[in-house]
Structure 1
Amino acid sequence: MKPFLILQLRPEPDASDNEYEAFLAKGGLRPEETRRIRLEREAIPADLDLADFAGVIVGGGPGCISDPDECKPPVEKKIEQEILALMPQITQQDIPFMGCCYGIGILAHHLGARVSKEAYFEPPGAVACTLTEAGRADPVMSGLPEQFNTLVGHKEAVQDLPPGCTHLLASAPCPFQMIRHGKNVYATQFHPEADGEVFAVRIEIYKHKGYFPPETAATLTEEVMAAEVDTAPLILRNFVERYRGN
């Protein structure tokens, strides 16, 4: 059985490890079913063949693809370049892909859509997402109710539906919460791997990164811990189950 390739973008070890554990737990994956690459400290091998993997899962991170290059730390520029270099093959060959938060920006940017901070910013917290008609018919959304809560936290967002994409999930604050390119390339603005405990870790680590006023960290932590967000991880589990046999 082929493993899933998990690409992580978080420079902070505690955040990266916590995210990886969340991918395993919420996706129903065992460590031996994955190949984990932390892009802040290692490059994607030149001989890496995506055909050797059941699918690709990309995590989030503090970087914004819409930031000017001169404002990006070297590690963020390196991570961005590594991920973008894979996107032509992923989209052209319709390789199973699940991009979480940062992943939707990478996919949309690669496809030529606008990703910016001009609208749809969301501080850390729970938002209600609603299935579109296409979302109701998508196999990765199987078993989901018409509306459910997800955890979000982002400074930039996709402003328009990218070319060749299908709109799957929407919310009032941010219309493009989940999209699909082709049949197998998925991306979410929210975090399907996260629960309140995961977000509490991120709030502490990123409280000085511009997502929210640092003095509100304790209140935000209480709110995410109390949020009912048990449904959203089914998306990640469905993705894994759909492609596990590839």
Structure 2
Amino acid sequence: MKPFVLLGTRDHDKAAGDEYESVRRHAGLAAEELIQIRVEAGPLRQLRLDDYSGVFLGGGPFNVSDAVKSDLQLRVEADLRGVVDQIVDADFPFLGMCYGIGTVTAHLGGTVDRTYGEGLGAVEVTLTPEAADDPLLAGVPASFEAFVGHKEACNGVPPGVTLLATGTTCPVQMYRYGANVYVTQFHPELDVESLAQRMAIYRHAGYFHPDDYTALVEMARRSGVRDHPHRLLRNFVSHYARD
């Protein structure tokens, strides 16, 4: 099988490693089947898409809507624009999570702003009728809980996409562009333990008050987040894995 690749932007070694392990484990991939490329670590060479079965894009510390951007953020955004151009033009298998939805939405000419940000926690995600026959959502119930935590989101669906999932606070939780380019606002890779690890790393990053850490972890443990979000990762792998 050709490997999948995870593009990451987290400038923290443990956060980057934890994200890789969460995606790999819930996607059902062996270490040699998922390659990690940390875009923040150095200029991103052009990807030879034919070398891979598909591409994941994880979350990170950057926001498309940031008013002030460092040189590093500007370089990462430019590199990712080049990759997204390739992927969208080729309609290549792609699953962007959290930061991924902002990156693709900007590419498609949609609006990404702070209107529908969601504090860290579990939210109910509801599938649209258009999701009924989508291969990534096979076996996923009509509504399920997933973890979120984001300062920005789509303000309306960008042109030409198929909305697959909505939420109460954030109306755009998942969409597809073309046949093979998918993005989610929620985090399909996160379970309770991986969320707690990420919260500990980003405790002072403005996603929640630092004093609320313990209460938020307990909230996550009491939530209804189970296996349903992870099924998207397994479905992506089983649908697109190729020799």
**Same fold by TM-score, threshold 0.5 exceeded?**
yes
Q: Please give the secondary structure, in 2, of the residue aligned with 1:137.
A: coil
Matched, 1:55 2:54: yes
Choose which of 111, 115, 136 in structure 2 pairs with 1:140.
Answer: 136
Query: Residue in 2 aligned with 1:44?
Result: 44
Offset at residue 64 of structure 1 (A) = 0.4
Could you tell me the percent identity over the aligned residues? 43
Question: Which 10-residue stretch deviates more, 230-239 or 80-89?
Answer: 80-89
CA deviation map 1:113-161 (0-9, x unaligned): 00001x2111111001111001122111000111100000000000011
Query: Residue in 1 aligned with 2:7?
Result: 7
Query: Residue in 2 aligned with 1:163?
Result: 159
Query: Residue in 2 aligned with 1:29?
Result: 29
Q: Distance in 1 between matches of 2:145 and 2:196?
A: 17
Offset at residue 92 of structure 1 (A) = 1.3
Query: Residue in 1 aligned with 2:169?
Result: 173
Aligned residues of 1:169 and 1:179 also touching (Cα < 8 A) = yes
Aligned residues of 1:200 and 1:225 also touching (Cα < 8 A) = no
Q: Please give the secondary structure, in 2, of the residue aligned with 1:129.
A: strand
Query: Residue in 1 aligned with 2:217?
Result: 221
CA deviation map 1:12-34 (0-9, x unaligned): 11111000000111000111112
CA deviation map 1:64-89 (0-9, x unaligned): 01112xx2233322222211111111
Q: Distance in 2 between matches of 1:224 and 1:58?
A: 24
TM norm structure 1: 0.95
The answer for unaligned runs of 5 or more in structure 1 is: none
Query: Residue in 2 aligned with 1:73?
Result: 70
Query: Residue in 1 aligned with 2:148?
Result: 152
Choose which of 228, 232, 236 in structure 2 pairs with 1:239.
Answer: 236
**Number of corresponding residues:** 242
Aligned residues of 1:130 and 1:170 also touching (Cα < 8 A) = yes
